[in-house]
Amino acid sequence: MADQESEPTTVCLVAPSMAGFGGQSVMADRLATDLAARGRVRVDFVSIDQPIHGSWSRLQRIKYVRTLVTSLRYVLALVRRMPRADVVHVFSASYWSFILAPTPAILLGRLLRTPVILPYHSGEAEDHLARSLVATRLIKLARFVAVPSPFLASVFERHGIGAVVIPNHLEPGEFSYRERRDPPVTVLSNRNLEALYNVGGLLEVFRRIQDAFPDTRLIVAGSGSQEASLRQQARDLGLTGVRFTGSVEPAQMVELLHDADLYVNASLIDNMPMSILEAFASGLPVVSSDAGGIPFIVKDGVNGLLAKAGDVEELAAQALRIFEDPELGLTLADQARQDCLDRYAAEPALREWEGLYAEAAGPSRRRVPTDVAGSGSFTEERA
């Protein structure tokens, strides 16, 4: 057997599965696949949303029982997998999701003396940390906190927590780039249908767009608790040509990005949305609110257009600039595409993750049983 220094670091990657097609699940799947392909890391994936099979699947129809059983299966999966890992990488969100997902992994890591890396992506961090002293103390138990933007790093710093900045990454070649030389016909929104993403505000923006350009269409790609009320709002506003797609798989999203002509985001709370980077990679002009960390990736008048979060009139006015001056949209999109290549390509980010894993694991790495798989593998917990 090769000496320990030459063996890949074994990382227990804990995140939502692709069953939900959410932002974290897509990021985790991309990271696991890319790391395994490089061969320097063994990735052992444990899903937070453990599936329930057989006769137990009936419990999925009972709201609170479903959460209890899924959480129990998740903790049992951690107990089985974490002892084999050199490092645990657990994706984190805010509020109740923080209790359900990262907390068991952080506490078990403490018990096993396994270093935990906590990537935190939610734009709600400021409110979450201010409200929960328990969450702040738990986060401080992690070996490293990693965030995708300087904006979020500054939030953690205000609460006495240091954070490493590793930007979200993508491979621009995975998206179908298209130049848009004509005025937009199809506007795309692909945020979850939840209050913080302000899709209702987006519908108000589209009302103003359609008043000026009646043939414009809107695709609302995503799902969430506000779907019914948003559909009703679209009817109340008298909008035409609006299509709600529901949940969209990644391959379908690539097609929607290719077919659209303008990307508009109206979020009120945000960090560094992958959806904007994917729009950049697809050649879509981006018009967005300036919520949270968005100004760190969208530079107003350089690679996109920004409006003050919550200001429907300003966001609509910025979007209408692209309709009235398609050349402006093309110029912004060209720069955004270049930014993807220069700042958000996979290679630099993957090197940073590998370095962080190695530093966290240190010299006391575990030898992994041969049944976990070979160098550079990507294994997944099967319940």
Alpha helix locations (H) across 140-281?
150-158, 199-212, 227-236, 250-259, 274-281
Strands 242-246 and 217-221: parallel
| String of DSSP letters for 37-60 | HHTSEEEEEEESS----GGGGGGG
Do 101 and 199 lie in one domain? The reply is no
Do 109 and 13 lie in one domain? The reply is yes
Do 252 and 158 lie in one domain? The reply is no
Do 17 and 164 lie in one domain? The reply is yes
Measured distance between the N- and C-terminal CA atoms of the chain, rounded to whole angstroms: 30
Do 364 and 307 lie in one domain? The reply is no
Do 206 and 313 lie in one domain? The reply is yes
For residue 349, the enclosing domain spans: 4-169+345-380
pTM for the model stands at 0.83
Identify the band that residue 100 occupies on the pLDDT scale cut at 50, 70 and 90. Answer: confident
pLDDT digits (tens, 9 = 90+) for 350-380: 999 999 999 999 875 554 443 444 445 555 5
pLDDT at 120: 93
Counting residues of the chain whose pLDDT is more than 70, the rounded percentage is 87
C-alpha distances out from residue 27 to 95, 110, 143, Å = 20, 26, 21
The count of other CB atoms within 10 Å of the CB of residue 362 is 11
If we measure between CA atoms, which residue out of 147, 145, 152, 176 comes closest to residue 27? 147
Do 23 and 157 lie in one domain? The reply is yes
pLDDT above 70 (res 139) = yes
pLDDT at 379: 59
pLDDT at 368: 46
pLDDT digits (tens, 9 = 90+) for 104-117: 999 999 999 999 99
Do 119 and 240 lie in one domain? The reply is no
Do 39 and 130 lie in one domain? The reply is yes
The total number of structural domains in the chain stands at: 2
